[in-house]
Structure 1
Amino acid sequence: MDYEKIFAGAKQEKLSGRYLCNTHIEPILESLSTAGHVSVLGHSVLGKNIFGFRIGQGETKILAWSQMHGNESTCTKALFDFFNFLSAESELQRKILSEYTFQFIPILNPDGAEAYTRVNANGVDLNRDAQDLSQPESIVLRRVYDSFQPQYCFNMHDQRTIFGVAETGKPATVSFLAPSFNTEREYNDVRINAMQVINRMNTTLQQFIPGQVGRFDDGFNINCVGDTFQFLGTPTILFEAGHYPGDYAREMTRRYIFFALLSACEPVHENVIVNNEIEQYLNIPQNNPNLFDFVYKNIKINYESSEIITNFAAQYKEELVGKTVKFNAFVVKMGDLTDCFGHSEIDGEGAKYSDGAENIPLPDQPADFFLDNREYHNGSLKS
């Protein structure tokens, strides 16, 4: 399958960047209404529409939702790319739509999406509300789950740039999880079916991002939606869209999420468990929070009246300014950075650090400083 060619023809060019809310997707959904069924499934705390898009006539039903956390938009972009693919006539498209029925919720948390926050308008993390169902958005998702009765669930998120693949120093560009259904983290057919889909997606992605696929932690929490649906007997897959080198807008990552969605369709339909599904799944390296956006090594500072050579790291904070997400770097750690990596690494070779204040890279201060005569602003060398 020519994934690159299919993606090039399907990419939704009207969506880009990190900030994505109802205003961006409503006109696109209107244009998709001739290909599938667009509906309002319910409303958010602030009364915003929670849209659904249903398409396909097949027996295997897949429920997928994105932006449960409002500031996690990469998978939403990939879903709209997938919608374009499902709406354009092709032999593969017809085959998929004859075998599957999809129910999508592209933005479950429209209030959080507009404010660019993880939580909803009541300050609640919807991914910890699966049991209490205290929020209208949680109730909408559960009502759709109960009425649609899917054979598979795709729970779609973003993960921070801190996550790497084990100890390799490579970013976890895409990570997956077949959530646990009990505290013992046991395996049953439901969970193994989820692993089967993950294994196929991983096999595909290794062709494009070798060594950049991770496995998310499987600690059980019944308050999490994925754990709850797995507990209820529906194979559920967590998608985590992560960092690709230099791709803070996550335009490359959306491509690989699209590849994963496309490759997921085949194993879901086959539905044949082989003996080594668990082994294959566990061979996917675990995520490790061992990455920083910037690492500076061998930096000279004055510390307690002595000159020492040290290291420090900086991390971006994402802040919504107007309708644009700005990335501002702050110092997060100084000292021993053994077993840590940077998306950008700078060897100061003994250059002297200064910042016009304490002249020490202290945590939580902006990453604006000098190394000898070289000026760094927001973590990067100023041109």
Structure 2
Amino acid sequence: MSFQDLDYSNIKEKSILGRYVSHRQLAKYVNTLRKPFSVETMGLSVENRSIESITVGSGKQRILMWSQMHGNESTTTKAVLDLMNFLNSEKGESLDILQKCTLKIIPMLNPDGAEVYTRVNANKIDLNRDAKKLTQPESKLLRTVYEDFRPHYCLNLHDQRTIFNVGHTPKPATASFLAPASDEQRTITESRKKSMKLVGAIDHDLNSCISGQIGRYDDTYNANCVGDTFQALGTPTVLFEAGHFVDDYEREQTRKYIFYALVLALKNISEDGHKHFTETDYFNIPENNKQFFDILILNASAINSSFNGKDSLGILYTEVLKNGKIHFVPKIEMVGELEGYFGHQSYNCLNSNDLKLLKQQPFWEDIAN
């Protein structure tokens, strides 16, 4: 598939940009949807915000996808809106998908968390650790939709932090995927095998855009996670993790690649194109590691004698919601030699050019004094 043919610049939903996506913003978009989309309010969140599902397509393959079950993970929500624009574009590939598949999309499962930009819901519960107990209304809604819709595939859509790199390389994990385990032994069941093949197919084509920036997420089994639960129930499930792209903290570039990945997933399911891939293709995708800082400052003792000779500073941004926008506040996370770590920005205090740039940073006074 040629990504140029998708004409992303015209498909992208430009009414919603940046990291903060609220229920109010989403509702404006959803209210514009007409045929072929069918919008249904499934129920209410803890704080009585509506949770919508959107159904489109008439095909035999039923695909359920949900986004923003963690309220501060909005990139895949933006990509889902782009996907719906694509499905409404009457392009050949979109029509083919809609003829062969029926999609049920929940663009925002946790609207209360989205409102205040937190991972958890209004009761401080992580919905992705509530699959077994089903204590929260949002968790119960998702489970009800799953049981009523009886999907052939599930796509579980998330964001991941900037700390993740691919393998042990200095490349950020811009997109990561997981075929969740369904037991502690991580058995490759028939369901999981289908998930692995689908991930292998996505990776094969997406690599042409972001070569070396696709990772495989950790597959440790957790019975409380939704993806693991649905996989154990026999439904092939794929976890999507939207990660960092160079200089893209608003994740508008990442959004595009997640959109591409969603189209690839639907195209392969509709055509059974992933049947040619194997579990080996899946395991050949390098596993994620956590070797990135947002800012890495080398030889910090050159600017502050309180640090030891070879000390480096690893700085991570804290994401803070203020006046409807996410602000990235730097915080020193680790001090030490930090060998084997990378920085999305790196400064060597022994380099005069780096030092000049470092002095222009808002956190300079904090590290120099």
TM-score under structure 2 length normalisation: 0.94
Question: Does 2:345 align with 1:344?
Answer: yes
Question: Does 2:86 align with 1:74?
Answer: no
Cα offset, 1:378, TM superposition: 4.0
Could you say if the C-alpha distance between residues 196 and 297 of structure 1 is closer, same or farther in structure 2, counting changes exceeding 3 Å? same
Cα offset, 1:68, TM superposition: 0.2
Mark the runs of 5 or more structure 2 residues left unpaired by the alignment: none
SS at match of 1:249: coil
Aligned to 1:4: 4
Q: Please list the CA deviations of residues 257-303 of structure 1 after superposition, one character each: whole Å capped at 9, or x if unmatched.
A: 01101111232134477586111100000010100000011222323
Aligned to 1:189: 190
Aligned to 2:146: 145
For 2:195 and 2:77, the matched residues in 1 are separated by 21
For 2:242 and 2:67, the matched residues in 1 are separated by 11
For 1:89 and 1:372, the matched residues in 2 are separated by 49
Could you say if the C-alpha distance between residues 2 and 349 of structure 1 is closer, same or farther in structure 2, counting changes exceeding 3 Å? same
SS at match of 1:31: coil
For 1:350 and 1:94, the matched residues in 2 are separated by 56
Aligned to 1:83: 84
- 23-32 or 110-119: which moved more? 23-32
Alignment of 1:148-227 (within 5 A): 148-227=149-228
Cα offset, 1:94, TM superposition: 1.4
Q: 1:376 aligns with which of 352, 361, 368?
A: 361
Aligned to 2:229: 228
For 1:56 and 1:325, the matched residues in 2 are separated by 35
For 2:326 and 2:358, the matched residues in 1 are separated by 30
Aligned to 2:105: 104
2:57–2:101 contact (8 Å) kept in structure 1: yes
Question: Does 2:250 align with 1:265?
Answer: no
SS at match of 2:279: helix
Between Structure 1 and Structure 2, which shows a larger proportion of helix residues? 2
Q: Please list the CA deviations of residues 86-117 of structure 1 after superposition, one character each: whole Å capped at 9, or x if unmatched.
A: 11222222111000000000000000000100
Cα-Cα RMSD: 2.0
SS at match of 2:262: helix
Could you say if the C-alpha distance between residues 379 and 264 of structure 1 is closer, same or farther in structure 2, counting changes exceeding 3 Å? farther
Cα offset, 1:172, TM superposition: 0.1
Give the aligned residue type for 1:138: S
2:358–2:364 contact (8 Å) kept in structure 1: no
Residue-pair matches, total: 361
- 89-98 or 49-58: which moved more? 89-98
Aligned to 2:116: 115
Cα offset, 1:379, TM superposition: 6.9
Give the aligned residue type for 1:134: T
Aligned to 1:356: none
Give the aligned residue type for 2:362: H
For 2:61 and 2:357, the matched residues in 1 are separated by 62
Cα offset, 1:371, TM superposition: 7.4
Cα offset, 1:4, TM superposition: 3.4
Aligned to 1:277: 278
2:310–2:336 contact (8 Å) kept in structure 1: no
Mark the runs of 5 or more structure 1 residues left unpaired by the alignment: 352-369
SS at match of 1:308: coil
Could you say if the C-alpha distance between residues 147 and 179 of structure 1 is closer, same or farther in structure 2, counting changes exceeding 3 Å? same
1:298–1:350 contact (8 Å) kept in structure 2: no
Q: Sequence identity of aligned pairs in percent?
A: 42
For 2:245 and 2:101, the matched residues in 1 are separated by 31
Give the aligned residue type for 2:361: Y
